[in-house]
């Protein structure tokens, strides 16, 4: 086991938090890559990258807010150069399944000269429990521009397990892992699973991309709305209606099922309504 720390960029996010916790629990030294960490890392302040990368053996790279945002490829390229200059040996990149800009970033990491693993993930189950769809779940309605498209929704715990393996074990060098759930689900079917787990009716309302853009503009402004509408236009057009085998190849087991995620999240109290 190496004594050099592992840098987890985005260690306060959905995947990064789980990865950091698992690494620490297994006895690995972790350097938290966040703006408020002891050695801060900030994507918008490149002067923080070198100190955060200094002395680390490997790094988990999660780009905030998303690899589809303008400037992301340039920052990923600059990070790979900073990592090489700092002596980092291995990069594990979180990527998005079916996203053109994410695949461009994958190519940058693939050709950067460092050991790498690419973790290309499907749509997160945890968007319902700790993401932007938590409040709609509490209100009993999921509105998305997905029509009847079926998505292999993935449990973020599986993504974290694959990333930890790639960061700490041999045999993952140069691999592209497509991480998906165990089955394809329409969002109406996902709503039915959520209803069963919560004991409340959760309905799915298919909306247009224009309606989604208008709602996102109210929440986050025009840039956020543009980027996330483009992501939905790409990824919810049916191109992702297939299962990946990344969990099986990386971990030798089956992915967690969405129904199991729903039951565990409900048991945690995340959807419990105030009395």
Strands 115-121 and 90-96, bridge-based pairing: parallel
Instruction: Give the CATH number, domain containing residue 29.
Output: 3.40.50.720
DSSP 184: -
> Is-contact 147 104, C-beta < 8 A?
no
Q: How far apart are CA 64 and CA 9, in angstroms?
A: 9
Question: What pLDDT was estimated at residue 52?
Answer: 98
- Three-state secondary-structure class, residue 93: strand
- Which H or E run contains 95? strand 90-96
Q: Is residue 132 part of a domain?
A: yes
* Cβ proximity of 71 and 227 under 8 Å: no
Domain-located, residue 226: no
Q: Residues 31, 53: contact at Cβ < 8 Å?
A: no
1 in any annotated domain = no
Contact 204, 190 (CB under 8 A): yes
**Helix/strand/coil for 14:** helix
11 inside domain: yes
Residue 57 falls within a domain, yes or no? Answer: yes
Q: Provide the pLDDT for residue 132.
A: 87
User: What are φ and ψ of residue 206, in 5° steps?
Assistant: -70, 130
In a domain, 82, yes or no: yes
Distance between CA atoms of residues 264 and 170, nearest Å = 31
Estimate the crossing angle of helix 209-220 against helix 222-235, to 10 degrees.
150
pLDDT of residue 53: 98
CA–CA separation, 235 vs 231, rounded Å? Answer: 6
Whether 275 is covered by a domain: the verdict is no
10-residue mean pLDDT profile of the chain (275 residues): values are 87 97 98 97 98 98 94 97 98 96 97 98 97 93 97 98 98 98 98 98 98 93 93 94 98 98 98 83
Question: How many angstroms separate the CA atoms of 198 and 195, rounded?
Answer: 5
Q: What is the extent of the structural domain holding 108?
A: 6-187+236-268
102 found inside a domain: yes
C-alpha to C-alpha distance for 83 and 62, rounded to whole angstroms: 14
- How many structural domains compose the chain? 1
């Amino acid at each position: 086991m190496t004594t050099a720390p592992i840098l987890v960029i985005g260690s306060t996010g959905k995947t990064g938090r789980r990865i950091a916790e698992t690494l620490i629990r297994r006895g690995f030294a972790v350097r938290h890559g966040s703006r408020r960490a002891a050695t801060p890392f900030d994507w918008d302040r490149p002067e923080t990258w070198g100190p955060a990368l200094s002395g680390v053996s490997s790094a988990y790279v999660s780009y905030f807010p998303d690899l589809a945002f303008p400037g992301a490829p340039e920052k990923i390229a600059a990070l790979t150069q900073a990592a090489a200059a700092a002596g980092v040996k291995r990069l594990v990149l979180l990527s998005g399944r079916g996203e053109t800009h994410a695949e461009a970033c994958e190519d940058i990491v693939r050709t950067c000269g460092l050991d790498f693993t690419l973790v290309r993930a499907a749509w997160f189950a945890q968007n319902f429990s700790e993401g932007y769809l938590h409040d709609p779940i509490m209100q009993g309605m999921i509105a998305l521009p997905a029509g009847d498209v079926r998505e292999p929704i993935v449990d973020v715990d599986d993504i974290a397990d694959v990333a930890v393996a790639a960061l700490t074990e041999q045999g993952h060098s140069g691999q592209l892992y497509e991480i998906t759930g165990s089955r394809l689900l329409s969002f109406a079917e996902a709503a039915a699973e959520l209803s069963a787990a919560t004991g409340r009716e959760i309905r799915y309302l298919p909306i247009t991309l224009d309606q989604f853009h208008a709602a996102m503009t109210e929440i986050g402004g025009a840039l956020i709305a543009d980027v996330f509408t483009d992501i939905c236009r790409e990824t919810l057009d049916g191109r992702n209606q297939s299962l990946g085998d990344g969990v099986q190849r990386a971990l030798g087991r089956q992915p967690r099922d969405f129904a199991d995620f729903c039951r565990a999240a409900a048991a945690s109290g995340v959807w419990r309504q105030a009395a």
